[in-house]
Structure formats: C-alpha cells, structure tokens
Amino acid sequence: MARPYPRAGAQYPRSLREFLAWFQTDADCLDYLEWLRWPSGFDCPTCGHPAGWRTGDGRIMCAGCGSRTSVTAGTLFDRTRTPLTVWFAACWHFATGKDGILALSLKRTLEIGSYQTAWAIRHRLRSVLVRPGRELLSGKVEVDETYIGGAEPGLSGGRAQGKSSWAERARIR
C-alpha cells in the first residue's frame, strides 16, 4: 500500500518560522528523515527485517542480516559533510523560491563558506528533480506563467519585425 504524501502543517512546515522551529539541530533533521523513511519503524532495506539497533556511529544495524544503513543512505544527503540543518534550509529556499535559487544567493543566505559548496548543494537539489525514463505529458496540462518559444531572428532588443507571442503565432496558423 502506498503511503500518502505529507500534508503541509501536519507533516511539513507551512512557514519559515515553523520551519526554523522544527529543524533547529541536525538531530531534529535526522528524526524527521527517519520518520519519513520508516513511518512504522525501521525496516531493513536489504532483507526487510523489522528490527535493528543503533550503532556507535549513528547507523542502524539490522537484527536479521547484520547489514548497516543510515537514515541518509540513498538520499541527496548521503556522504556529505555539510550539516543537515544547512541542507534542509537549502531545500526550503529552493522549494519556496519562485524561480529556484542561485548558488551565490544560497551561499549568502545560509552563510555557506564557499561558493563551490553552495553550487554543489544547488546542483544536487536540481538533479533529484529529474526522473529518468519518465513518460511524456499527456492529456490536459496546466502551465503557470510560462513563455514558450524564444527570440526570433531580426533586430536586437525586441525590435524584430513580426515579433509576436507564442499564443498569437498559434492562433495565426
């Protein structure tokens, strides 16, 4: 049975103030990730056994097969030295920004030490939005504030002869 998606205000914060209250420490972030990954308690990803215990390094060892896993394994947070609080804040800003977020803006807003780290976070966030093998859109598709097409050849600065919007060109044909 598929789990229902999280609901705003119930399973994820509705505002920046609520976000900051929920995710003050890395431990808060780990608890949240654990709840999202295993809402009914730990299930080993290797053998499916429903029990395990925490090891000294924070990972969980399966009581069935002895394999170890972490809450972040297989996620965009896996194998990173950047604190989860920074990752969560970057996710928040990325998701709530109308046009995404620039790496430089992310660096300044979250006070990240280097531009390279901010760029890597942004790149990883963008990469998880792509689903390989996805099917093409079909049926009725709603699009919000989108411009389809590009600059037409001609004079620069929007002075091209016969320049029209996509909608106008579609009506003409």
pLDDT on residue 114: 94
- With bands split at pLDDT 50, 70 and 90, how would you rate the model's confidence at 155? low
**68: helix, coil or strand?**
strand
Per-chain mean pLDDT for the chain:
83
DSSP 29-54: HHHHHHHHH-TTS---TTT--S-EEE
**Could you give the CA distance from residue 12 to residue 10 in angstroms, rounded to a whole number?**
6
pLDDT on residue 3: 54
Mean pLDDT over residues 22-48, rounded?
90
Burial category of 13 from C-beta neighbours within 10 Å (exposed 0-12, middle 13-18, buried 19 and up): middle
Query: Percentage of residues in the chain with pLDDT exceeding 90?
Result: 45
**Could you give the CA distance from residue 46 to residue 63 in angstroms, rounded to a whole number?**
11
* Cβ atoms within 10 Å of 71's Cβ, excluding its own: 23
**Could you give the CA distance from residue 125 to residue 107 in angstroms, rounded to a whole number?**
14
**66: helix, coil or strand?**
coil
User: Domains of the chain: which residue ranges?
Assistant: 1-37+76-127, 42-73
Lowest-pLDDT choice from 41-45, 67-71, 149-153 = 149-153
pLDDT on residue 61: 93
- With bands split at pLDDT 50, 70 and 90, how would you rate the model's confidence at 100? confident
pLDDT on residue 40: 84
Q: Which amino acid is present at 2? A: A
